[in-house]
């Protein structure tokens, strides 16, 4: 076998391995998007239920209960916007246009955002607990403080569980995928190899 044939066989083999790696990375990222989209459907559904019940509760309830429903409505308007934007972005993502490094980076960024959100969720709950405590001694709008505090405890608690489950699902996915990935960095290059 001459040298040209060896080089040709090596190049073809390399291209086949690269194509398989790309397919596996794309499968991984498609699952990542599927996880996100499922989560956003859950978040959006939670938001719609809370907005509908919030609008109802604001119109028929009084006192702190009215404010509880009011905050649920306001809070979930934001949740619905986030879920809607994320769903549209997820469905419009052209996975084949992304490099392996971009797909992995986007996934890992999502994991980081979920962890940051979990920290914020704890702060929301702390704010709700503070408002609830303050409502017992405040002479200025104690019913508002109580209702809003209860709502923040509920919404923060839901989001903490939601973000925790989403993080675990995404982290488990990346852990399984990255076990088989070898990353090499050079001064001007990034190389990804996947073990089969």
pLDDT digits (tens, 9 = 90+) for 10-44: 444 433 333 344 458 999 999 999 999 999 999 99
Residue 7, pLDDT > 60, answer no
pLDDT digits (tens, 9 = 90+) for 59-68: 999 999 999 9
In this predicted structure, what is the pLDDT of residue 182? Answer: 59
Query: Mind giving me the DSSP string for 98-132?
Result: S-HHHHHHHHHHHHHHHHHHHHHHHHHHHHHHHHH
User: Domains of the chain: which residue ranges?
Assistant: 24-194
In this predicted structure, what is the pLDDT of residue 178? Answer: 77
Burial (CB < 10 A; 0-12, 13-18, 19+), residue 179, is exposed
pLDDT digits (tens, 9 = 90+) for 106-156: 999 999 999 999 999 999 999 999 999 999 999 999 999 999 999 999 999
In this predicted structure, what is the pLDDT of residue 8? Answer: 42
In this predicted structure, what is the pLDDT of residue 187? Answer: 59
Find out whether 25 and 101 touch, Cβ atoms under 8 Å: no
Angle between helices 142-178 and 100-135 (to 10 degrees): 160
In this predicted structure, what is the pLDDT of residue 22? Answer: 42
The H-or-E segment that residue 192 falls in is: strand 190-194
- DSSP secondary structure code for residue 60 in this structure: H
Residue identified by tokens 């949740």 is 79
Q: For the residues 52-58, what does the mean pLDDT come to?
A: 98
pTM of the model: 0.80
């Amino acid at each position: 076998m001459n040298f040209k044939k060896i080089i040709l066989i090596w190049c073809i083999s390399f291209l086949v391995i690269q194509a398989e790696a790309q397919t596996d990375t794309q499968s991984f990222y498609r699952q990542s998007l599927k996880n996100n989209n499922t989560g956003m459907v859950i978040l959006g559904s939670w938001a719609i239920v809370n907005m509908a019940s919030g609008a109802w509760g604001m119109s028929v309830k009084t006192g702190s209960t009215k404010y509880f429903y009011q905050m649920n409505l306001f809070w979930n308007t934001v949740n619905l916007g986030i879920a809607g934007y994320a769903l549209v972005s997820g469905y419009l993502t052209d996975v084949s246009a992304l490099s392996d490094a971009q797909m992995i980076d986007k996934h890992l960024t999502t994991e980081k955002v979920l962890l940051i959100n979990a920290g914020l969720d704890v702060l929301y709950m702390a704010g709700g607990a503070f408002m609830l405590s303050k409502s017992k001694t405040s002479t200025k709008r104690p019913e508002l403080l109580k209702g809003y505090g209860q709502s923040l405890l509920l919404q923060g608690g839901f989001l903490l569980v939601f973000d925790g489950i989403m993080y675990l699902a995404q982290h488990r996915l990346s852990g399984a995928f990255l076990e088989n990935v070898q990353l090499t960095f050079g001064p001007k290059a990034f190389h990804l190899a996947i073990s089969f």
